[in-house]
């Protein structure tokens, strides 16, 4: 029997295979058995179009700004986005509001 790699998240030795994925039963982390761990995550908009740094996006839903009474309205264009890791995929500067983090599921890519 071949030795499987320990979980990269919690280092548990009890990993198992499920198709092409390795799964940790202790923390429920899943990763590819064949791919390397440093592969880049592709961030996609609400339509499934891949996003990149510097793209222009449009907001598809009214978004309330935490800690403020301001609202980012539908159709607001945001230029020069920056992709980041974390709970929000996009860092940007929204006209009239300022620096903000957005989730990619609430934007769509538009032509510059």
Domain-wise residue ranges, the chain: 1-37, 56-109
- What's the mean per-residue pLDDT of the chain? 87
Distance of alpha carbon 53 from its chain centroid, rounded?
13
**pLDDT the model gives residue 86:** 83
CATH code, 1-37? 2.20.25.10
Backbone phi and psi for residue 52, each to the nearest 5 degrees, phi listed first: -140, 160
First to last CA, the chain: 54
Residue bearing the bigger pLDDT, 112 or 70: 70
- Residue 61 pLDDT class (50, 70, 90 cuts): very high
**pLDDT the model gives residue 45:** 93
CATH superfamily of 56-109: SH3 Domains (2.30.30.40)
Q: For residue range 7-60, what is the model confidence (pLDDT) as tens digits? A: 888 888 889 888 888 888 888 888 887 755 444 578 999 999 999 999 999 999
How far, CA to CA in Å, does 48 sit from each of 33, 39, 109? Answer: 25, 19, 9
**pLDDT the model gives residue 29:** 85
């Amino acid at each position: 029997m071949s030795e499987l790699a320990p979980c990269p998240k919690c280092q548990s030795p009890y990993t198992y295979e499920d198709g092409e994925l390795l799964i940790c039963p202790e923390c429920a982390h899943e990763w590819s058995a064949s791919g390397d761990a440093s592969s880049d995550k592709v961030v996609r908009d609400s339509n499934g179009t891949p996003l990149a740094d510097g793209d222009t996006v449009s907001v598809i839903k009214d978004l309330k700004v935490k800690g403020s009474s301001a609202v980012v309205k539908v159709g607001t264009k945001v230029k020069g986005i920056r992709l980041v890791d974390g709970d929000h995929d996009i860092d940007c500067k929204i006209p009239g509001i300022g620096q903000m983090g957005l989730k990619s599921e609430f934007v769509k890519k538009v032509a510059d």
